Copies of this chain bind each other. A is one copy, B any other.
Amino acid sequence: MEVELRHLRALVAVVDAGTFTDAADRLGTSQASVSRAIIALETALGARILQRTTRHVSLTGTGSRILPGARRALDEVAHLQRVIAQSRTELRVGYAWAALGRHTRRLPKRWAAAHSGMPLVFVHSATPTAGLAEGTADVAVIRRPLDDPRFDRRAVEAEREPLPVITSR
């Protein structure tokens, strides 16, 4: 079996919480799940990591040697998420033809009031999904019905025909 992050998450949760039961609480899962994750980790690594009785949990020598590295691995992926969150500096609104009609002026103001940190950027893209499928837009305003399972949609206004908004999932 291969080491997976879920195993490492269980390990640090147990070490930090002190017991499998409390670790399960923090992780939002069951004590049994934590127990199995630890066993899986020990199997994958081929070594006992936690010395445990029903009354006491402590790291083995091996365990204390690997714990810092386990934390670093988790920190690295947490860092990935932060990098991505920070790189989302703007919300790109795709449109194919006439932008948002009469909302064109109101929407940016309301958006800026509610999300001062993140600018709205309007992106013209004359495709069926107005840039969503192409990755040039995060949200798109379209005027034709679209039945693409990759995207969620919501109707915001009826003109002569419905005006759905589709968003990347």
Q: Is the interface of A mostly helix, strand, loop or mixed?
A: helix
Across the interface, do B46 and A65 meet the contact criterion of CB distance under 8 Å? no
Contact with B along A1-40 (1 / 0, CB 8 A): 0111110100000000000000000000000000000000
- Closest CB of chain B to A155's CB: distance in Å? 24
Copies of this subunit: 2
30 inter-chain pairs at a CB distance below 8 angstroms, sorted by A residue, are A2-B5, A3-B77, A4-B4, A4-B5, A5-B5, A45-B80, A45-B81, A45-B84, A46-B84, A47-B84, A51-B135, A60-B135, A61-B87, A62-B83, A62-B84, A62-B87, A65-B83, A65-B84, A66-B80, A66-B83, A66-B84, A69-B76, A69-B77, A69-B80, A69-B83, A70-B76, A70-B77, A70-B80, A72-B76, A73-B80
